Structure 1
Amino acid sequence: MATATTYGARDHARAQQGAHAEAMPVVPATDWPAPPCEAGHLVWAETVAGGNYTHRVLARGTELRLTDVKGDACAHVLLYADGRPWERLNTADTVKVQWNAYLRAGALLLSDQGRVLATVIADTGGRHDALCGTSTLVRNTDRYGDGTPQSASPAGRELLKLAALKNGLEPRDLPPSISFFQGVEVRDDGVLDFTGSAGPAASVTLRAEQDLIVLIANVPHPLDPRPDYTSTPLEVLAWRAAPTRPGDWLWDASPEGRRAYLNTAEFLTARGQS
């Protein structure tokens, strides 16, 4: 089909309606072929290509499932309280308050206000990282020859900058991120060992405990030793559900977690959100 003219370009673009690519958002999300919930509850369905990013605002109680489709995805995630972006994911407090550097089901993703942004409610992989953050322009340029967003080896921070800008945030608003699907362990001497992926189809599910801005970059982990830029598709699905409440096993799983949930509940109640 000729695209040299405006009419030809328009006709070509319209002819793509209904076409599907390996990595793309599905709109409406309810058209996703195999939703993990009642079809009407699905609010976000997307496959993010390796070396790409995505973002979304999610309501409190929404459950977000990330899946490493082929075994070489790495989801670098940032969370912000929607409307209050100064309350954001704090990886240091997430690790320190819970006495644990390793994210598993039951882990709380905390802000520096002592409140819960999201809860890890399910995890089939166990290979995650709350210590290293994501890759940078300087590092990727040195390692792969380029780290700009439009290159074949974009850095995670550069992609997160773009996602942030689309939500009214600036580069200075980017704290260290959490990485899912590529793990790191701390040796007795303090050296970080890269443990790699749990393999294809590993998934992790987060529950939003506040209204959230979610930023995700799917790029290689900064400690990945492979010489080639290796990043495969990431599946992102989200559906309406309910936040964690008293009586849920997670609420009283630890004294520190219970305090964080109570801090969150008190704050939201004062704002008229019960």
Structure 2
Amino acid sequence: MSAKQEVIFSDTLPGAAHWSMVVPKGRTVRFKDLEGGANLSVLFYNPANPLERYNAPDTLKCQHTFKLTEGNCLYSDMGRIFCSIVRDDTGWIDTVCGVANKKKVSDKWGERDYQTERNQWKQNGYDALLVEVAKYGLGKRDLAANLNLFSKVSTDEAGNLNYDPQHSKADDCIELRFEMDTLVVMTTCPHPLNPAEAYPYQPVEVTVFESEPMLENDTCLNHRDENARGFENNRRYTTSTQQGFDTSSHHHHHC
């Protein structure tokens, strides 16, 4: 973020929290791991038509990769680009492990409930995302495979998944530049493979600012030929909705 880019909004999500916001096209969101070892599970939807959502298989397949990092774009199931990863201090974003459910969390860290524990209860990522998407009329069927920012899971020769507990350091940032209006749903619940003895409560700072204009030599645009096509799909979509052809636009409050 350069000095001339004003911060539009900033907030800190504590550990085991969930939140969502509609980010307009032309804004960039910076996520910062404040203490190190954070996990931020995120999902993306089109606020004008929530049936359009982040598609992990397409995103990985068309960019020929297992992990995501700077230069990659995040695709919807309509072949459009929700956002581009313009900065990733961690060098690896987990795309395959999803979120932990209630059973997994209680098996690992013991049963806790909100009534007795209040803010120190052990929320799980699955229920956290479910609570959040419900605010937009979405449910279990709408939870697609999510990204886990600040988490790295690699595979060994035998195909075993290896979680790296030292992956993200304090003040590591990941920046997403939004290429279309996007509903972003997120939770700071721990990664399903986190081996920590105690339930980890790692906060993440969320900051929104105006994007820099995209130049012709943009890393994300030129990362793969497929990305250029994705941006072209966005351009066509934006043009048609601006012409008033889109009948499905609902009003949402923008952040």
Give TM class, smaller chain. Answer: 0.7 to 0.9
State the partner residue of 1:236.
Answer: 206
Shift of 1:173: 1.4
CA contact (8 A) 2:35 2:171 kept: yes
1:148–1:183: structure 2 CA closer, same or farther, 3 Å change rule? farther
1:159 aligns with 2:159: no
State the partner residue of 2:161.
Answer: 192
CA contact (8 A) 1:93 1:110 kept: yes
| Fraction of identical pairs, as percent | 28
Any residues of structure 2 matched to 1:77-96 within 5 Å, and which? 77-96=42-61
1:104 aligns with 2:63: no
CA contact (8 A) 1:127 1:198 kept: no
1:255 to 221, 225, 239: 225
2:23 to 54, 58, 69: 58
1:143 aligns with 2:113: no
Moved more, 245-254 or 171-180: 245-254
1:177 aligns with 2:146: yes
* Runs of 5+ unmatched residues, structure 2: 244-255
Shift of 1:167: 2.8
- The one-letter code sitting in structure 2 at the alignment partner of 1:104 is T
Shift of 1:100: 0.5
* Runs of 5+ unmatched residues, structure 1: 1-34
Q: Give secondary structure in 2 for the equivalent of 1:206.
A: strand
CA contact (8 A) 2:100 2:125 kept: yes
CA contact (8 A) 1:161 1:170 kept: yes
1:243–1:75: structure 2 CA closer, same or farther, 3 Å change rule? farther
Shift of 1:243: 6.5
**Hey, what's the Cα distance between the residues in 2 that align with 1:136 and 1:148?**
14
1:73 to 38, 44, 53: 38
Shift of 1:270: 1.8
- The one-letter code sitting in structure 2 at the alignment partner of 1:161 is L
1:193–1:246: structure 2 CA closer, same or farther, 3 Å change rule? same
State the partner residue of 1:119.
Answer: 84
State the partner residue of 1:32.
Answer: none
- TM-score of the two chains, using structure 2 as the length reference: 0.86
State the partner residue of 1:266.
Answer: 236
**Hey, what's the Cα distance between the residues in 1 that align with 2:8 and 2:195?**
36
**Hey, what's the Cα distance between the residues in 1 that align with 2:12 and 2:190?**
16
- The one-letter code sitting in structure 2 at the alignment partner of 1:140 is V
CA contact (8 A) 2:72 2:223 kept: no
State the partner residue of 1:203.
Answer: 173
Structure whose CA Rg is larger: 1
Instruction: Output one character per residue of 1:243-265: Cα deviation in whole Å (capped at 9) or x when no partner.
Output: 74655343222111111111221
**Hey, what's the Cα distance between the residues in 2 that align with 1:190 and 1:82?**
37
**Hey, what's the Cα distance between the residues in 2 that align with 1:253 and 1:260?**
12
Q: Give secondary structure in 2 for the equivalent of 1:114.
A: coil
Higher relative contact order structure (alpha carbons within 8 Å, sequence separation ≥ 6): 2
**Hey, what's the Cα distance between the residues in 2 that align with 1:51 and 1:198?**
17
State the partner residue of 1:29.
Answer: none
Shift of 1:148: 6.2
**Hey, what's the Cα distance between the residues in 1 that align with 2:76 and 2:220?**
18
CA contact (8 A) 1:74 1:231 kept: no
**Hey, what's the Cα distance between the residues in 1 that align with 2:235 and 2:84?**
14
- TM-score of the two chains, using structure 1 as the length reference: 0.80
1:148–1:243: structure 2 CA closer, same or farther, 3 Å change rule? farther
Aligned residues: 238
Q: Give secondary structure in 1 for the equivalent of 2:211.
A: coil
